[in-house]
Chains A and B, each alone.
Chain A
Amino acid sequence: MASVIVNFELCGRDVEVLVQPMATLQSVLRNQLGHTATKEGCRQGGCGSCTVLVDGEPMLSCLLPVEDVAGRRVTTLEGITPIDGLDPIQEAFLESNGFQCGYCTPGMVMVTRALLDHDPQPGREAIVEAISGNLCRCTGYQPIIDAIEKAADRLSGSGEQTGER
Chain B
Amino acid sequence: MPEELNVVGRSVVRSDGVGHVTGRTRFAGDLVFPGMLHLKMVRSPLHHARIRGVDLGEAERVPGFVRALTWRDVPHNVYTILSLIGVEPEEEFVLAQDRVRYKGEPIVAVVAESEAAALEAVAKVRLDLEELPAVFDVEEALRPDAPVVTDWGNNTFMFEGHPSRRVRFGDVEAGFARSDHIVEAVYNSSPIEQAPTETTGCVAVPEANGRYTVYTNTQALYFSLDNTAIILQVPGKRLHFVGGTVGGGFGGKVDVIVEPIATLAAMKTGRPVRYVFSRSEEMQVSSTRSAWRIYMKDGVTRDGHILARKVTSYADSGAYSRQTPYALTKHAANAAGPYAIPNVSIDAYCVYTNRTPASAMRGFGVTMASFALEVQMDRIAERVGVDPWTIRFINAYHNGDRKPHRKIAEDATLIETMQAAAAFVGHELTDEQKAMTSAPRASLEGVR
Interface, chain A (partner B; CB < 8 A): 30-31, 34, 36-44, 46-47, 49, 76-78, 81, 86, 90-91, 93-95, 97-106, 109, 135-138
Contacts and interface: CB of A to CB of B under 8 A. Distances in A.
Contact of A102 (B13, B19, B29): B19
Contacts of A77: 22-23
B359 to A, nearest CB: 17
B250 A137 contact: yes
Chain B: number of interface residues, binned into ranges: 20 to 34
A46 B197 CA distance: 10
Contact of A138 (B22, B24, B248): B248
Nearest to A91: B21
Contact of B279 (A43, A78, A100): A43
Interface string B71-113: 0000000000000000000000000000000000000000000
Given A77-B22, A94-B14, 7 more contacts: A41-B197, A41-B247, A47-B197, A94-B21, A98-B21, A101-B198, A137-B196
Where chain B touches its partner, the secondary structure class is: loop
Contacts of A36: 23, 26-27, 30
A49 B24 CA distance: 14
Contacts, number: 93
Contacts of A135: 197
Nearest to B252: A137
Q: Name the 10 nearest CB pairs between A and B, nearest first.
A: A37-B23, A102-B20, A103-B247, A36-B30, A77-B23, A42-B279, A90-B21, A106-B23, A103-B197, A41-B197
Given A78-B23, A102-B25, A39 B198 contact: yes
Given A30-B30, A40-B29, A41-B279, A49 B197 contact: yes
B192 interface: no
B21 A105 contact: yes
Q: Which of B14, B20, B23 has the most CB of A within 10 A?
A: B23
Interface in B37-88: none
Given A47-B197, A135-B197, A137-B196, A94 B27 contact: no
Nearest to B19: A102
26 contacts: A31-B32, A36-B23, A36-B27, A37-B22, A39-B247, A40-B29, A43-B279, A46-B279, A81-B24, A91-B21, A94-B18, A97-B17, A101-B20, A101-B196, A101-B197, A101-B198, A101-B246, A102-B16, A103-B196, A103-B247, A105-B20, A106-B23, A109-B23, A136-B197, A137-B197, A138-B248
